[in-house]
């Protein structure tokens, strides 16, 4: 339909820390079951600076590797056999596409595909082991593409992956019953989105804990009822007080620290559930005797599994929540280095920084 | 019906370590909803020596406290309103009876009753906060009593609580799919019963790990396919080999050690589940990054919850498994001190020691 | 605390169709585990006119029988052992209180108590087999009492039972995934509340079907996206069109007609779920071949089970939905006969009619 | 590896009722992700005579159509990218392979693939819309192939599909709790296998109902505790008696008749579950008022979904059940017409008739 050029502008990783803007990168061709997307916006995930600095296992060769996995745009061409999408469709993508053959994929758990990092088996991890979205065009298998509701801006659409990651954490602990007391620890983008998701799912009291007052304030705007400053108050004690000594029904741990994980167990009620959504650098000495005696469930959640993208999109589509506090900065692709610096150093109170190719 | 005496022989705890045989303890009267049981057999649980040594929170007053919670016998009288049992019924009991009023109890989770240790709210923990079974007679609320199948000896019936505890661990991780690879760590009574339960539920390969060869050998007789000696082999590495590098679908941790809990996470597969069934003395540094990245569920299981007694009884009732290797010793009530010594020191290869009042 | 009189005004059923206002009915005394409530409002349920006309199995004796089961008010006294509530608490009640002893109750399914209608076993069905709320005072066991959020008017609180009934239908089919297409058939109070619940739980498209345009219009105000007039359109065909030929993820059948139940199966998608929430007078010829070939689940839902009251309260507590369109009429207790006539004949577009003792 | 000929013997459907043995049918070539199987045995399913008589929607062209979908054999070659199997592997197959792209497939529900009958989307229904097993060789996608345990004869392996269909019915109603009372209606191969599965899953009393005494007798040998002759006894009444008036926890309806489906609901207990596994010719007037008032779940189960093949294989692999009563007849492929006549007319008490190419 539209004129698709042969080459495109892209941010290409040439080595550790060596990200270069290139103007003549070949536009990829959609294979069978794939679509070609004109990327409108790609958000910087907390993992991206790490990829920039250190690469990723099984990444495409340096000099060809385009990362970025939280992107949205418009379908401009489709590969053989694609009936699910058509040029003109506004879409967001998810990073994981399973092999479809292993036991986990066949049971629906494609984010824990047993053929991770093996493209020859059909696995894709866009922006990690497969090229992603810091470019004018990107190819995605239809299993990783979701139609956007009318009126959802592309910048907001880049947040769907974040929302879906929070939502999958909630799903992994059996969802939320209406009225349950939920603690979200860690007011990063995933934590803040967990507040939004919990509110939209009918949670009762939503408590957000963290160490940065400005972020906690954003959490209040997004639906938290109470915030706890983790350095100024004893978080566990405060949650126990707020719950009449019983503890929280569900804790969504998004801070990614050992202390937060330890605390998560300590503040759960008898029969409570703890979702671990963070990235942890070391083992956490959990009080497993309490886990047993209080019949507690602790579940890790791998990314935006089990089509949480579709559910997150649906929850956000109604527009009941104003997500604008989350997208604090946007940059053109030509300023991607500034974008990364803003995101990494949280310049100007940066929460989510979006790059627009 | 039968002549019920006014007094009975009982082993009464008079203080820490002070267990005395008494011949004139008043036979209890069954209140509304209760039955009076002529105790035929009461097994010594691993917790009992601790109660003997240190008591238990909220225990009945020393000088009146009869502990023992794994007992079976015959109903001899029923209290007001009891229609569920009649004199002559052969029964086993479970230790926990919830308040029936708190949110957990009303949802079916009575082992994590929010009114634990408050008899005035209807909670009972027989052999702990309420009198139990090292006596000729005991009173139990009907919610804690289960009819025995014909032909099941009372000694075997005392194992139902142990079996139900193992089974609840399995239930807490969503049960077992037929064919799943299951690792049971710790060949104590609960671990050995977990082997039995896994086998009866259709598990595929059942792997038992532990440090005592004689116990591992018992595990093989009870249905384990493979045993791993935890001091002579690297348990995690061996499980990964046995599973083609994928890991176990389910791990039932019954050893109660920090190392075993840490290992349990390490040997679980992507999407695997870990049940914690042991009693742990300190926090365990779990690899929570793996828990997240591999989408693992870790669930503690509190005792024989959610009527697991009924299910364990049903599984064992068919007689498909010969449990005789587990009851290694029996003693009359008059020799209860010898029974405790045998159990604590594992004299003569003791696994389960049963006292017969 | 407050002065509680010895006698009260009550509407007492003296026989079939013989409802009398009495001014000297003894105020009940709360027994152990019970609270005494000063009833502020009691809504007329669709079952109430049937009780008025025909009584109910195991009802209290005529001349003493006070029915009405959707009531709210203020606790004024508590019985022995009650710690959950105190005088002054504003509360709503639920009709069912299980025996707490049968297998269903112990598993949490008290609305299908196996001791239904046997008060001697502890079962209560307030307003049916036990006295209810068309009176100045009523006694309820604490298991059937729920605290109201501040600011929720008593008239609205009488709707919680209705909301909880809708919600339990949804729960019985596994809840709703965010974004699912939901059809609600039958715009009576339960159906309209099902629309509200589906919306609050994150449903995608909510389709309401029925035969009365004014009720369908109320449904739109309460959150339905589309309405279908069942006499003017082919409902099944229209749902299939609206869903691109795939069918609805979930159908909540609240019309209580055979045709609606038959249609519910026909409009479900492959793997879809159908909740039956209505009261049906005769068997319905369901297309069970489709049920098999399309892997469909059909679940009946008995009343407001599994503490759905608590969840419904939580969902409504945030005030996100204006329920005022549902309470169309209120009458003082002295005009209860007019209230019933209004409800039965739907005078003045009556939806819910509330009596205020 | 082995010498694979260019052509093979096959039973080819040339038109309605026109099944011809052909000796020069081209041996199929395994495509990417496929394996070529030397078929050792293919059982006649109840659907096969219908395909013989009437074809099947979207079947391959007459003159090329090989049906038969319950087969087992040995892998002799693998297509591009296949790492899951190797020549020499003994395997059984399942009929359904989903598209892997639609929402149902991605959630694990491939037997209700939304692209059914569209091979261009990747869907396969071996023996129906794709060629199957009444031939010396057959090609299957790896997703439809399962390794056999050592020692399982190929004739027995052809029963895995039947077992898996029964098992999926059980799975669709939430599995079985140990000790549950299960009624299986209809002693055809699926019903008899449901008896086997229920027994292996720890069911309590297993009741088999039917109209043919010889089949009921086979059911007793396979593990049923009680049989009911449906023409000589009132089945519902008898089940209620056997369950003390409470009803069955689970009913697995395999008879495929309207009456059996109606009865299934009538004999379920409060909170009971009914699995519909049969093929029904007309709507069944279910007592849906009971479904609501008794909180009953009725679930259809589509074939051997959610990898039930793997689970059924695991349950049968231990050899705890002697399945030899089920395979009553075997024929060489050259006598396929006699095989069909035996199966259809149940000559010589035929239950399962196996063809060996």
Note the pLDDT of residue B29: 97
CB contact under 8 A, A285 and B283: yes
Residue B272 makes CB contacts below 8 A (sequence gap 6+) with: B247, B248, B249, B250, B251, B294, B296, B297
Q: Are D278 and D255 in contact (CB under 8 A)?
A: yes
Q: Chain centroid to CA A49: how far?
A: 15
Contacts with A297 from chain B: Cβ below 8 Å:
172, 297-300
Contacts with B149 from chain D: Cβ below 8 Å:
none
Question: pLDDT tens, B7-63?
Answer: 999 999 999 999 999 999 999 999 999 999 999 999 999 999 999 999 999 899 999
A208–chain C nearest CA distance, Å: 18
Terminal-to-terminal C-alpha distance of chain D:
20
Contacts with D201 from chain B: Cβ below 8 Å:
178, 201-202
Note the pLDDT of residue D103: 96
CB contact under 8 A, D310 and B179: yes
Q: Are C70 and C146 in contact (CB under 8 A)?
A: no
Residue of chain D whose alpha carbon sits nearest to that of A121: D81
Q: Which residue out of D117, D123, D292 would a mutagenesis test of the C interface target, given it has the greatest number of C Cβ atoms within 10 Å?
A: D292
Residue of chain C whose alpha carbon sits nearest to that of A306: C177
**Separation CA B115–CA B101 (nearest Å):** 9
CB contact under 8 A, D110 and A106: yes
Note the pLDDT of residue C107: 96
Q: Is the pLDDT of residue D197 over 90?
A: yes
Phi, psi of B220 (to 5 degrees): -65, -40
Residue for token pair 């074939």: D303
Terminal-to-terminal C-alpha distance of chain B:
20
C-alpha pair distances (Å), C163 with each of A85, B323, C140, C194, C197:
39, 51, 20, 7, 7
Question: pLDDT tens, D74-128?
Answer: 999 999 999 999 999 999 999 999 999 999 999 999 999 999 999 999 999 999 9
Note the pLDDT of residue B319: 78
b/e per residue, A198-228, with b = 16+ CB within 10 A? bbbbbbbbbbbbbeeeebbebbeebbbbbbb
Structure confidence at residue B2 as a pLDDT band (50, 70, 90): low
Chains that touch B (3 or more CB pairs under 8 A): A, C, D
Contact residues of D toward C, CB < 8 A: 104, 107, 109, 111-112, 114, 172, 246, 261-262, 270-271, 276-302, 305
**Separation CA C22–CA C152 (nearest Å):** 30
CB contact under 8 A, C307 and B110: no
Note the pLDDT of residue D3: 85
Q: Which residue out of A166, A285, A298 would a mutagenesis test of the B interface target, given it has the greatest number of B Cβ atoms within 10 Å?
A: A298
C106–chain B nearest CA distance, Å: 5
Q: Are A309 and A149 in contact (CB under 8 A)?
A: no
Nearest to C276 among D271, D277, D292 (CB): D292
**Separation CA C57–CA B315 (nearest Å):** 39
C123–chain A nearest CA distance, Å: 26
Q: Is the pLDDT of residue C1 over 60?
A: no
CB contact under 8 A, C314 and A202: yes
Nearest to A175 among C175, C310, C314 (CB): C175
Terminal-to-terminal C-alpha distance of chain A:
20
Nearest to B120 among C81, C107, C110 (CB): C81
User: H/E element holding D189?
Assistant: helix D189-200
Residue of chain D whose alpha carbon sits nearest to that of C278: D292
Phi, psi of D145 (to 5 degrees): -125, 135
Nearest to D109 among C109, C271, C283 (CB): C271
Note the pLDDT of residue D76: 98
Note the pLDDT of residue A3: 85
CB contact under 8 A, A300 and B291: yes
Phi, psi of D275 (to 5 degrees): -100, 125
Tokens of B144: 């804690």
C101–chain B nearest CA distance, Å: 6
CB contact under 8 A, C178 and A202: no
Residue of chain A whose alpha carbon sits nearest to that of C205: A314
Q: Is the pLDDT of residue D1 over 90?
A: no
Average pLDDT, chain A: 96
Q: Which residue out of B262, B292, B297, B308 would a mutagenesis test of the A interface target, given it has the greatest number of A Cβ atoms within 10 Å?
A: B292
Nearest to A271 among B109, B290, B297 (CB): B109
Structure confidence at residue D2 as a pLDDT band (50, 70, 90): low
Tokens of D225: 């505790």
CB contact under 8 A, A100 and D143: yes
Structure confidence at residue C267 as a pLDDT band (50, 70, 90): very high
Phi, psi of A96 (to 5 degrees): -95, 135
Q: Are B210 and B187 in contact (CB under 8 A)?
A: yes
* HSE of B206, CA atoms in CB hemisphere, 13 A: 30
Contacts with D32 from chain A: Cβ below 8 Å:
none
**Separation CA B235–CA B264 (nearest Å):** 10
C-alpha pair distances (Å), C256 with each of C70, C169, C187:
20, 13, 11
Nearest to A142 among D84, D101, D307 (CB): D101
C15–chain A nearest CA distance, Å: 41
Residue of chain B whose alpha carbon sits nearest to that of D312: B178
Residue for token pair 């610096």: A341
Phi, psi of D7 (to 5 degrees): -125, 165
CB contact under 8 A, A202 and C201: yes
CB contact under 8 A, A313 and C175: no
Q: Are A333 and A11 in contact (CB under 8 A)?
A: yes
CB contact under 8 A, D202 and B315: yes
Note the pLDDT of residue C2: 58
Contact residues of B toward A, CB < 8 A: 104, 107, 109, 111-112, 114, 172, 246, 261-262, 270-271, 276-302, 305
Nearest to B81 among C33, C121, C306 (CB): C121
Question: pLDDT tens, B283-341?
Answer: 999 999 999 999 999 999 999 999 999 999 999 998 788 898 999 999 999 999 999 99
Tell me the whole-structure pTM to 2 decimals: 0.97
A50–chain C nearest CA distance, Å: 32
* Count of CB atoms situated within 10 Å of the CB of B88: 10
Q: Which residues of chain A have pLDDT under 50?
A: 1
Structural domains in chain C plus CATH codes: 7-159+323-356 (3.90.180.10), 165-300 (3.40.50.720)
C164–chain B nearest CA distance, Å: 16
D106–chain A nearest CA distance, Å: 5
Contact residues of C toward D, CB < 8 A: 104, 107, 109, 111-112, 114, 172, 246, 261-262, 270-271, 276-302, 305
CB contact under 8 A, B101 and C143: yes
Q: Which residue out of C109, C116, C289, C294 would a mutagenesis test of the D interface target, given it has the greatest number of D Cβ atoms within 10 Å?
A: C289
Terminal-to-terminal C-alpha distance of chain C:
20
Nearest to A179 among C175, C177, C313 (CB): C313
Strands C182-185 and C248-253, by their bridges, are: parallel
Note the pLDDT of residue C265: 98
Residue B310 sits at the vertex; the CA angle it makes with B304 and B316, to the nearest 5 degrees, is 100
Residue B139 makes CB contacts below 8 A (sequence gap 6+) with: B28, B29, B30, B31, B34, B35, B36, B37, B131
**Separation CA A314–CA A301 (nearest Å):** 20
Residue among A68, A82, A45 at smallest CA distance from A125:
A68
**Separation CA A144–CA C123 (nearest Å):** 52
b/e per residue, C308-345, with b = 16+ CB within 10 A? bbbbbbbbbbbeebebebbbbbbbebeebeebbebbbe
CB contact under 8 A, D315 and B200: no
Question: pLDDT tens, C54-94?
Answer: 999 989 999 999 999 999 999 999 999 999 999 999 999 99
- Can you tell me the mean pLDDT for C181-210? 97
Share of chain B above pLDDT 90, in %: 96
B282–chain A nearest CA distance, Å: 7
Q: Is the pLDDT of residue C292 over 60?
A: yes
C-alpha pair distances (Å), B123 with each of C309, C352, D69, D262, D283:
24, 41, 57, 43, 50
A301–chain B nearest CA distance, Å: 5
A73–chain C nearest CA distance, Å: 21
Residue D303 makes CB contacts below 8 A (sequence gap 6+) with: D95, D96, D111, D165, D168
**Separation CA B318–CA A330 (nearest Å):** 68
Note the pLDDT of residue B245: 97
Question: pLDDT tens, D273-302?
Answer: 999 999 999 999 999 999 999 999 999 999
Share of chain D above pLDDT 90, in %: 96
């Amino acid at each position: 339909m539209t004129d698709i050029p042969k080459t495109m502008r892209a941010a290409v990783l040439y080595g550790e820390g060596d990200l270069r803007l290139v103007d003549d990168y070949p536009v990829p061709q959609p294979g069978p079951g794939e679509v070609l997307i004109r990327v409108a916006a790609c958000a910087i995930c907390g993992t991206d600076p790490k990829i920039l600095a250190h690469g990723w296992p099984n990444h495409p060769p340096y000099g060809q590797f385009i990362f970025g996995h939280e992107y949205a745009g418009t379908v401009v061409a489709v590969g053989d056999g694609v009936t699910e999408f058509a040029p003109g469709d506004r879409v967001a993508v998810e990073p994981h596409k399973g092999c479809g053959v292993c036991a986990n994929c066949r049971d629906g758990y494609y984010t824990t595909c047993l053929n991770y990092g093996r493209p020859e088996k059909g696995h894709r991890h866009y922006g990690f082991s497969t090229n992603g979205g810091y470019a004018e065009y990107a190819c995605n298998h239809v299993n990783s593409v979701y139609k956007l509701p009318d009126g959802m801006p592309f910048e907001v659409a880049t947040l769907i992956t974040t929302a879906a990651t929070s939502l999958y954490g909630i799903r992994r602990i059996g969802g939320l019953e209406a009225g349950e007391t939920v603690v979200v620890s860690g007011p990063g983008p995933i934590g803040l989105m967990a507040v939004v998701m919990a509110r939209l799912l009918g949670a009762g009291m939503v408590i957000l804990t963290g160490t940065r007052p400005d972020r906690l304030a954003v959490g209040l705007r997004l639906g938290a009822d109470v915030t706890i400053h983790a350095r100024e108050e004893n978080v566990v004690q405060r949650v126990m007080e707020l719950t009449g000594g019983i503890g929280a029904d569900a804790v969504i741990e998004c801070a990614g620290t050992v202390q937060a994980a330890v605390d998560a167990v300590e503040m759960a009620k008898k029969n409570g559930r703890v979702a671990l959504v963070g990235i942890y650098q070391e083992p956490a000495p959990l009080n497993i005797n309490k886990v047993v005696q209080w019949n507690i469930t602790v579940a890790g959640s791998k990314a935006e599994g089990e089509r949480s993208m579709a559910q997150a999109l649906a929850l956000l589509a109604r527009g009941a929540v104003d997500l604008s506090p989350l997208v604090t900065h946007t940059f053109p692709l030509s300023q991607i280095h500034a974008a990364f610096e803003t995101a990494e150093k949280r310049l100007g109170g940066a929460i989510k920084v979006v790059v627009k190719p």
